[in-house]
Amino acid sequence: MAPRLPARCWRQLLRPSSTSPTTHTLPRAALPSTTTNASLLPYTQSRTVKSGWSTLPTRGAKPHRFNQVTSGLPTPTTGPAAALKRKERTTPVRAGVLAVKKGMTVFMGRTGARIPCTVLQLDRVQTVLNKTKHKHGYWAVQVGMGERNPGNVTAPLLGYFEAKGIAPKEVLAEFRVRDERGLLPVGVQLMPDWFHVGQRVDVRSNSRGMGFAGGMKRHGFSGQEASHGNSLNHRTIGSAGPSQGSGSRVLPGKKMPGRMGNQRVTIQNLPVLMVDNELGIVVVKGCVAGPKGAVVKIQDACKKPPPSDDFIEKTKKLLEERFPEAEAHLQAARERHLELKQARREKRIEELMVGGMKPGSEDEMDAIEQIIAADAMNEATEHAPAQF
């Protein structure tokens, strides 16, 4: 049986009598003689925000979201801006390039030292898109490499490249940059002199795929004994997990046979040994993951100081000199894309294809004629019989 409460505990529950017809009172024997005409609170109290049991303010229009200021929490200090600020030091200043791994060779130093190196070739690398913090949440440059047959490209991608005034690219990749200073004009071509000899770069590529492999090849297991009771289990991994301490299960992350290779590998801080614009190659010291023909991403090393400001300004000026009409070409491509888009809606694209494209200026027509004549001369030289 519960102990009897003293009189001082009952005084806290007393309140003046109200005009409400439904009031709960206790027997007179349980109260002191001075409180015979007083009434008490109801025995069952409603614990809601209105009754004062919750000290948190009312939630806003989205109560299912966490870490909101309306839930009584302080203003969060994390977010996209804080993430960009935190990664500012490890984000390269400039965009990178795409290249194809051609193979490995050696460089011979002045003292006769044999330096292994990898040859990476750039194939019509152009900028395709700039991503800004205001629109996308971060700064980045989209780069494309090579060319693709338009017949093997989907219609949305064809329209995407048409609006840029660029031929369909074989590979597209994105390079994050630190701020707006790393953005580049759309349509410019990046040459191997985007880097300089002695610079440190990071090279990313997919490693060579080896298919399904066992535990000895994939993880370097030593295997089991050759005799003494072993029956056709020489290269197996053995027990996959204990039965008592871990709960009779296989622990996550257990090294077992499976698919080996074809994983993204980053080789950091590789020095550049050679840059050649005529051959379109960048030679870096050491090895790069992946087979011959693998697509690699080259960018300034994130753990080393960026190139000097003078070199960065020099590369930007070279781009402006090589492609002085990049902005005008992009604007003309956008207008032409809108015209073709409207013609497709009106089903007039066949008329445009029969009539042909609008002729350009005299300089453009002369340049096209020179290109056709040069190609014809090259074909005639190749097919001409050799003279001894």
CA distance 171 to 381: 33
Using a pLDDT cut of 90, give the percent of the chain over it.
58
pLDDT in tens, 260-276: 999 999 999 999 999 99
Residue 195, pLDDT above cutoff 90: yes
Assess contact for 142 and 125: CB atoms under 8 A. Answer: no
pLDDT for position 103: 95
The residues, ordered by sequence, that sit 6+ positions from 330 with a Cβ below 8 Å of its Cβ are 164, 165, 185, 186, 187
Residue with tokens 């590369």: 315
pLDDT for position 242: 80
The residues, ordered by sequence, that sit 6+ positions from 96 with a Cβ below 8 Å of its Cβ are 143, 175, 297, 298, 299, 300
pLDDT for position 124: 93
Residue 377, pLDDT above cutoff 60: yes
pLDDT for position 352: 75
pLDDT for position 372: 78
pLDDT for position 20: 47
Residue 15, pLDDT above cutoff 60: no
pLDDT in tens, 44-97: 555 555 555 556 655 555 555 555 555 566 666 677 778 888 888 899 999 999
Residue 360, pLDDT above cutoff 70: no
Q: How far is CA 302 from its chain centroid?
A: 15
Residue 193, pLDDT above cutoff 90: yes
- In this prediction, residues 295-319 reach a mean pLDDT of 95
pLDDT for position 30: 47
CB neighbour burial string for 182-199, b if at least 16 within 10 angstroms, e if fewer: bbbebbbebbbebbeeeb
Residue 39, pLDDT above cutoff 60: no
- In this prediction, residues 31-44 reach a mean pLDDT of 49
pLDDT for position 350: 78
Residue 18, pLDDT above cutoff 70: no
Residue with tokens 């690219």: 169
Per-residue confidence band for 241, with pLDDT thresholds at 50, 70 and 90: confident
Higher pLDDT, 116 or 55: 116
How much is the pTM?
0.70
pLDDT for position 36: 46
Per-residue confidence band for 380, with pLDDT thresholds at 50, 70 and 90: confident
pLDDT for position 31: 46
Half-sphere exposure of 183 (CA within 13 A, CB side): 11
pLDDT for position 29: 47
Residue-averaged pLDDT of the chain: 83
Higher pLDDT, 68 or 374: 374
pLDDT in tens, 117-166: 999 999 999 999 999 998 998 999 999 999 999 999 999 999 999 999 99
Per-residue confidence band for 359, with pLDDT thresholds at 50, 70 and 90: low
Q: Among 14-18, 66-70, 346-350, whose mean pLDDT is lowest? A: 14-18
